[in-house]
A and B are shown apart, each in its own frame.
Chain A
Amino acid sequence: MAALRAAVGLGGVIARGNGRAYGDSAMGAAATIDMRRLNRMLAFDPATGQLVAEAGVILGDVITAFLPRGWFPYVTPGTKFVSLGGAIAADVHGKNHHVDGSFGAFVDWIDVVGADGEVTRASRSSNSELFGWTIGGMGLTGVILRAAIRLRPVESAWIRQETIPAPHLAAAMEAFEAADAATYSVAWIDCLASGGSLGRSLIMFGEHAETGEVPSAFRKHPFATPKRRAKTVPVNLPGAALNTWTVKAFNALYWRKGLSSPRKSLVDWDRYFYPLDAILGWNRIYGRRGFLQFQCALPPKSSEAGLRALLGATAAAGQGSFLAVLKRFGIQESRFSFPMEGYTLALDFPATAKTLALLDRLDAIAVDHGARFYLAKDARLAATTLHRSDPRADILRDMRREAGLDQAFASAQSERLLL
């Protein structure tokens, strides 16, 4: 605690959780505060499902501890290796944003270390400004020390999944709208399909399975998780392996498998929510240079046109995107969080000069369609693009200056984006 206070006193610092953000948001301008050792769970109330824990606690550890007792996080991103602090600071979303909202919706209070090194408890009813700016604030309002989050009661460790193929974008969006009440929904897009097949996708809906639905082998232990072997990607694949052809082949295969496999299935939580975690070195598939993400959220009005333009530009560039994920967002009002009503598209690419050029094009398309960018996935956005896309960026910057937060807390990203 004293060490933390001293670190904050240095100025130009930022908290770092488990380093799962893609860009430079968790790298301090001057110094970085590693939160991973502040990782104790402090209290749990089975009457309300409220867990109080330090910010460095990893979401996967929450699941390991509480799923056997019938609890699961209300909102989870696509990896379980995030810290609670990181999940709050990026106000992460899951496949259920359209019904449940973002991670912040299930945060009751947070303890935040401010520029003066003092701890302030903030909630919706007290210090609500600090609360509102810190959720989704990318660490720029202070260091989250502890949080009270609520967990969801579940009857099993299983998800009832339904997979629906959609031949093109309009069909995919229709499927999303038709299944608005589904708890979880996500579409995997074959982003090399073009023309009439643009936006060809598999949409996966999911519900927490009730005790009676659990596979018979697990009926006696509905919260047990089947052991699975971690697939590893042992060596960096040469960059050339990821040319258009391999991505095409991968996409075609995935597409066919989706069509032929049963449309309804039971999947355990780990395979359902965290397929990428199983491939331990999964980011190596792009070779040594690593990769870049692009994720934006589009408002309902311009979603279809925007998605069409983004996917069209991606297909035309022939750069491939190993993963193209489309999700629906429900209504969200927030100080600086990413989600807003509409759709969110996430693409990732190998980091090459050609990709950078494509990403600049995607930025422009996104801005033209009223999109917002996800800072947790960003490593290269231009400050002008951000401020043009999101008027809240100016407000955050001014608020930080007035509150004297800008000297104390700064990341490489906040300096690049002039926040």
Chain B
Amino acid sequence: MTDATRKSTVLILGGRSEIGLAIGRVFAAEGHNLILAARDPESLEPERADIALRHDIEVKLTQFDVLDTESMHGFVEALDPAPEIVVSVIGLMGEQAENERDPIAATQVMRSNYEGPALILGLFAERMVAAKKGTIVGVSSVAGDRGRASNYVYGSAKAGFTAFLSGLRNRCARLGVQVVTVKPGFVATRMTEGMDLPAALTAAPEEVGQAVLRAVERGRDVVYVRPVWGLVMRIITAIPERFFKRTDL
């Protein structure tokens, strides 16, 4: 671990998700302090206590709603201590069929996966650029690599988020701020429970945590949690549109 990442404070936006908690636990095991942000932070008290006790670190809880744009400035300023590493795992899958019919539902998915996470990470990036150090991690999705019939509302929002992170990284690259894009592939969480996912392509939440830690330590830009996903997505994105539009992937 480099000096820059030693014993820092890591903020997890979406701290109640299994993936967010798994990422937090991996950093906690390395001795970092945590701030877990969630819409209903009190419900996280048992996890807060558990992580703090197991790793003998400080874990704080804070309230955050990524759709509440107005409150973002205040949220960033109120954090004490200011986090050196900010990870957003906020996302919302929604129901594709519902999103096709209901613009309000679709708006919520678009805002929760793209607008909200992009805006808040952008604000943190501002602070980090001023301090000339810091790390931003955005959990996006392979669903953003190519729009598919089965989940393109969610996928397009993730695509927007991925593009935002790419641009932010480009801007920050020479300013001492690291930006990491994580594309987990399938992850076995409550969100995917009951789905019939191929085992070789499905990661445990802990694997996502390990992948994020490794990416931060090694200064990686874009990571697929299971490397095979890089290959899968290269193939999927290489299929010419006139064939792709007839597929059922």
Contact = CB atoms under 8 A, between A and B. Distances in A.
A44 B53 contact: yes
B242 interface: no
B42 interface: no
A68 B31 CA distance: 13
Interface in A12-51: 39-44, 51
A43 B56 contact: no
A40 B46 CA distance: 7
B49 A61 contact: no
A65 interface: yes
B56 A41 contact: no
B207 interface: no
Contacts of A39: 50
A354 interface: no
Contacts of B54: 41, 61, 64-65
B18 to A, nearest CB: 11
A61 B53 CA distance: 11
B148 interface: no
A51 B56 CA distance: 14
Contacts of B127: none
B56 A68 contact: yes
Contacts of A68: 56
Interface string B72-96: 0000000000000000000000000
B47 interface: yes
B55 interface: yes
B56 A69 contact: yes
Contacts of A65: 53-56
Interface residues of B, number: 8
A41 B49 CA distance: 7
A107 to B, nearest CB: 18
B55 A43 contact: no
Interface size class of A (residues with CB under 8 A): 10 to 19
A40 B53 CA distance: 9
Nearest to B49: A42
Contacts of B50: 39-42
Contacts of B49: 40-43
B56 to A, nearest CB: 6
Interface string B13-49: 0000000000000000000000000000000001101
Nearest to B47: A40
Contacts of A41: 49-50, 53-54
Nearest to B54: A65
Contacts of A44: 53
Contacts of B47: 40
B194 to A, nearest CB: 14
A40 B49 CA distance: 8
Interface string A53-86: 0100000010011001100000000000000000
Contacts of B53: 41-44, 51, 65
Nearest to B29: A64
Contacts of A42: 46, 49-50, 53
A40 B25 CA distance: 12
A355 B50 CA distance: 45
Nearest to A40: B50
Contacts of B56: 65, 68-69
A218 B16 CA distance: 39
B57 to A, nearest CB: 11
A55 to B, nearest CB: 13
Contacts of A51: 53
A414 to B, nearest CB: 31
B59 to A, nearest CB: 12
Contacts of A61: 54
B19 to A, nearest CB: 16
Contacts of B55: 65
Nearest to B46: A40
Nearest to A69: B56
Contacts of A43: 49, 53
A147 to B, nearest CB: 14
Contacts of A54: 46
A198 B222 CA distance: 67
Interface in B111-169: none
Contacts of A40: 46-47, 49-50
B15 to A, nearest CB: 15
A43 to B, nearest CB: 6
B190 to A, nearest CB: 11
Of listed A41, A54, A64, residue having the most chain B CB within 10 A: A41
Interface string A377-416: 0000000000000000000000000000000000000000
Interface of A: 39-44, 51, 54, 61, 64-65, 68-69
The 9 closest A-B pairs by CB, nearest first: A40-B50, A41-B53, A65-B54, A40-B46, A41-B50, A42-B49, A44-B53, A41-B54, A42-B46
Given A54-B46, A61-B54, A68-B56, 12 more contacts: A39-B50, A40-B46, A41-B53, A41-B54, A42-B50, A43-B53, A44-B53, A51-B53, A64-B54, A65-B54, A65-B55, A65-B56
Interface of B: 46-47, 49-50, 53-56
13 contacts: A39-B50, A40-B46, A40-B50, A41-B49, A42-B49, A42-B50, A43-B53, A44-B53, A51-B53, A61-B54, A65-B56, A68-B56, A69-B56
